[in-house]
Amino acid sequence: MGRFWDMICLSVSVMFVGGDTFSELPPPKSLNFIWETPFRLSLTWEKPEDLDHSCRVNYTVNVYNSQECSGKLNSKRVQTLGCKLEISNENGLCISVRTNPENCGQRGNSRPVIFSIAPPSVRLVKNRSCEYSHSKMKCTWIPVVDVQNLSLYYWLPRDESIKKCKPDETLKPRGCIIHDKSLKEAVNIFYLFNGTYNGTSVINTFKDERPVDYVKLNKPQLTIHRDGQKLIFQANGTDLDEFVNLCYIFLYTISKCSENITVHEREHYVEQYDPACKYRARVQVIFSQNCGAGSSDPSDEVEYVKLNKPQLTIHRDGQNLLFQANGTDLDEFENHCYIFLYTISNCNKNITVHEREHYVEQYDPACKYRARVQVIISNNCGAGSSDPSDEVEYGGAMTLTEYCQVDDLRPGL
C-alpha cells in the first residue's frame, strides 16, 4: 500500500506542568517521537539532569486519545529511555512522560512533560461498523466528504504488514471483507482509510477491540414441540460451530395467554404446557461475555397450534395393512405442513414412523397390531401438534377367510 506515514503532517506542542518543589525529581529531557508506521509511535527521551548517581528511576507514559488530555487513559511504566506505542490518531493524542523514583531518598515524581498531536485535518468516514464470523470481518462505512480512491486497510499487531480489505459491492453504502485466520485470536485490530481529497492524499486511522467483540451470528430457527405435558423450545443455528458451546446463550421470548416471559438458557427451554393458552415465541443467540460480544437477529416468530385429536383407522389391502390418520381440522395449512407420527406395536416390536399421509406395513397374521397416531405441524410451517389418537387394535386371530383357506388344505378334502 505504500509508505503512508511519509505523508503524515503533525502539529505538536510540548509543555511542562506543575510547580517547583524541593522534593521533585527533574523531568525527562529532549522528548522526541517518530511514527515508524501509521500505528506505531516511537518515543525517546534523555535521562533527567542533576540526578545523583545513586538515584535509580523509571518513567511513566500516559496516553489520552484526545488532544485535550481527557477521556480514556492508557498508562505504562518503563525502565528504558523510550518506548513504542501501538496507537491510532482518531481524535488527536495527548502523551505525557514523568520521572519516578525507585531509591532516591525523599524525592518524589517529577513534573510530567506533555506533548499533543493534532487529529487529521479531514474526517474521511463516519458510521463505521464491522461484523466478525468464521475468520471474516465485514466492514461498512459512510464517506463524509467527496474522496477519490477511498480504500480500507487493516493491521493486526502480530503481523508486520498492513493489508488491504477486499472491496465488496454488496455491502452498503460502502464496504469490504477481511479474510484472515488470525482474526479470531487477535487482541485488537487497527484500520487505515486512505483517499485523495482536494488533490491531497489523506489518511485516517482507527483502533478497535478484538474482532471477537464484534461477532455477528446468523438468524436462528425456533422449533416448538410437545412432549407429554411439556412444551420444548429449541433454537437451531447454522453457524454455532466456531466456538465452544459455552459461548452461546439462547434468549427465549415467549408469549402465552396474557403473560410474557424472557429466559436465558444454554440449550433448549422447557415449559409446562397449558392447553388453554396460545403460545408465540422467538429466540435470539447471544455471544457470551466470557468469549467476546455479539448476537444474532431474533428468529421469526413461531406460534404453537393445538390440533384436534385425530382418528386412526386400520384396514387390510391384500398382504398389506394400511394405517390412516383422519383429522377434523387439517385444512388451515397446506398438506405438506402436516406430519403424521404413527406408533405401532406388533408382536414383540415397537416402531415409530413419520409420514406425510398413511403408513403401509406388510401384514403378519400371527401378530396383533396396536397403534396410535399424532399429527405434528412441520417446522417449515410453524409449530404445533395434536394429542395422540385413541389406541386402535387389529388382528391377533385368523379372519374367517383365512380359517377356511387353511381348512381346505386338510388331507382328503
Classify residue 279: in a domain, yes or no: yes
Classify residue 289: in a domain, yes or no: yes
Contacts of 404 (CB under 8 A, 6+ apart): none
Cβ–Cβ < 8 Å for 338, 377: yes
Cβ–Cβ < 8 Å for 233, 293: no
Classify residue 243: in a domain, yes or no: yes
Q: Which residue has the cell 399429527?
A: 375
End of a domain among 85, 117, 149? 117
Same domain, 301 and 238: yes
pLDDT digits (tens), the chain, 413 positions: 444 444 343 444 444 444 444 589 999 999 999 999 999 999 999 999 888 888 999 999 999 999 888 888 899 999 999 999 999 999 899 999 999 999 998 889 999 999 999 999 999 999 999 999 999 999 999 999 888 999 999 999 988 889 999 999 999 889 999 999 999 999 999 999 999 999 999 999 999 999 999 999 999 999 998 888 999 999 998 899 999 999 999 999 999 998 999 999 999 999 999 988 989 999 999 999 999 999 999 999 999 988 899 999 999 999 999 999 998 888 888 889 999 999 999 988 999 999 999 999 999 999 999 999 999 998 888 888 898 999 999 986 544 444 333 344 344 44
Cβ–Cβ < 8 Å for 152, 128: no
Classify residue 182: in a domain, yes or no: yes
Same domain, 252 and 210: no
- Read off the pTM: 0.74
Query: How many separate domains does the chain show?
Result: 4
Q: Residue 44's beta-bridge partner residues?
A: 32, 82
Same domain, 194 and 227: no
End of a domain among 86, 117, 148? 117
End of a domain among 153, 187, 214? 214
Instruction: Provide the b/e sequence for 135-172 (b: ≥16 CB within 10 Å).
Output: eebbbbbebeeebeebebbbbbeeeeebeebeeeeebe
User: 293: domain range?
Assistant: 219-305
Classify residue 409: in a domain, yes or no: no
Selection from 198, 90, 194 nearest residue 146 by Cα: 198
Same domain, 243 and 186: no
Same domain, 107 and 137: no
Q: Would you call 213 helix, strand, or coil by DSSP?
A: helix
Classify residue 36: in a domain, yes or no: yes
Same domain, 278 and 333: no
Q: Residue 194's beta-bridge partner residues?
A: 151, 203
Classify residue 407: in a domain, yes or no: no
Domain containing residue 234: CATH number: 2.60.40.10
Same domain, 162 and 197: yes
Same domain, 343 and 382: yes
